[in-house]
Amino acid sequence: MDNGTNPLKVAVIGAGYWGPNLARNFSAALDWELVAICDKDTARAAALARKVGFPAVVGSVDELLTGHDVDAVAIATPARTHHAIAMQALAEGKHVLVEKPLADRGDAGRQMVALAQERGLVLMADHTYCYTPAAIKIRDLVFGGELGEILYIDSVRINLGLVQPDVDVFWDLAPHDLSILDFILPGGLRPLEVSAHGADPLGAGKACVGYLTMPLAGGAIANIHVNWLSPTKIRKMVIGGSRKTLIWDDLNPQQRISVYDRGVNLDCQELVRGDVTERTEAAISYRLGDTWSPSLEEFEPLGRMVAQFHASITTKLPSPTDGSAALRVLAVLEAASRSLAEGGSNAAVDGSGIELQEVLR
């Protein structure tokens, strides 16, 4: 175990599409020692091991936990497997980093967080976008009051995506948008209800196109559009504020963030005469000010993320994507699934148990 100077030993479980990104970043970090790659497809694990300094190649989680000395594991296997692997690793006293979504069910996620707490271990989600320069800048602007009160958030995440075998498009893509909301909103992601509409126009057996709508604090609203069937890729978030509106276009590296001093002003002066229509018309004016694009630091988000995982273990301070953040995301996804099953009706978000886990925000 870490004595404050030695690197922590970590194994990456899952060497498919995303696991190699984790392995590369752990391998590059001086305070981590990547000791093993575990995948039930050992040829895949071996191919990855060759690229990241030849850590051990392991074919099962049992073999990893019994035969190798690790402080932590990072789980990049399909969502339906996260719970079993994480519970096994936590029971063996390992700190655990889990890919999004933390689990494929809310109760599974709650069990994982509870066991980590009971054992005094770190359980953290890889909500990658929360470690991007853009999200960090947006959070600073929101928390600094630059945008004013948040009025609405509109997020679009669409492309030709792999239809996942175990989760629908909400559980696959919306964790990104929801974790960003949780990160940038001062009160975190705490809608009381959500409504979800989805479609499976190709007969894949699960929603491949989805719309998620939820009220935010102070009468604001958020809409998230996720889609695996779009031939064009869009990653855009519009955050409308009472002072300014921000647009995050993640596919525009020259100008990922634009801040518009443009919008609608509602002046609240009392008019002595006139009906409601006249009053409303009279009170609206348009602001047509400048647009600016803040400069962003350059760094690899996963490098920050693995550094945060290390810091959470060594300092015991929670990360912005700790278990409670991951549970807030799962709570919204669960409610979205209920809403979907009920034809899009509003479904209450069950936030019970989440506050208990929260140490600091």
Region binding ligand NAD by CB under 6 A among candidate stretches 39-47, 151-159, 228-236, 249-257: 39-47
CB within 8 Å of 66: residues ≥ 6 apart: none
For residues 225 and 199, is the Cβ–Cβ distance under 8 A? no
Among 19, 109, 191, 210, binds ligand NAD (CB under 6 A): 19
Min dist CB 61 to ligand NAD, Å, is: 5
Please, is 325 exposed, middle or buried when counting C-beta atoms within 10 Å of its C-beta (0-12, 13-18, 19+)?
A: buried
Q: In this structure, are strands 209-215 and 193-199 parallel, antiparallel, or unpaired?
A: antiparallel
Q: Which of 8, 11, 13, 113 binds ligand NAD (CB under 6 A)?
A: 13
80 binds ligand NAD (CB under 6 A): no
- Interatomic CA distance for residues 134 and 151, integer angstroms: 20
Q: CA-to-CA distance for 171 and 105, rounded, in angstroms?
A: 10
Please report, to the nearest 10 degrees, the dihedral formed by the alpha carbons of residues 14, 16, 21, 26 taken in order: 30
Given the complex with ligand NAD, which of 106 and 263 has the nearer CB atom?
106
For residue 223, the minimal CB distance to ligand NAD (Å) is: 21
By the 8 A CB rule, do 307 and 31 touch? yes
Closest CA to 64 of 113, 72, 51: 72
- Interacting residue with ligand NAD among 61, 121, 226, 330 (CB under 6 A): 61
Closer Cβ to ligand NAD, 12 or 185, answer by number? 12
Q: Can residue 206 be called a binding residue for ligand NAD (CB under 6 A)? A: no
Nearer to ligand NAD, 77 or 312 (CB): 77
Q: Does 303 bind ligand NAD (CB under 6 A)?
A: no
Region binding ligand NAD by CB under 6 A among candidate stretches 36-44, 106-114, 152-160, 231-239: 36-44
Closest CA to 159 of 250, 255, 254: 250
The residue with its CB nearest to ligand NAD is: 16
79 contacts ligand NAD (rule: CB under 6 A): yes
Whether the bond into 7 is cis, omega within 30 of 0:
no
Distances (CA, A) of 62 to 67, 219, 302, 347: 8, 50, 27, 39
Q: How far is the CB of 98 from ligand NAD (least distance, A)?
A: 8
Shortest Cβ 163–ligand NAD spacing (Å)? 12
Tokens 């933390």 locate to 102
Smallest separation, CB 301 to ligand NAD (Å): 9
By CB under 6 A, the residues from 93 to 132 that bind ligand NAD are: 99-100, 126, 128
Question: Given the rule CB under 6 A, which residues bind ligand NAD?
Answer: 13-19, 38-41, 44, 61, 76-79, 81, 99-100, 126, 128
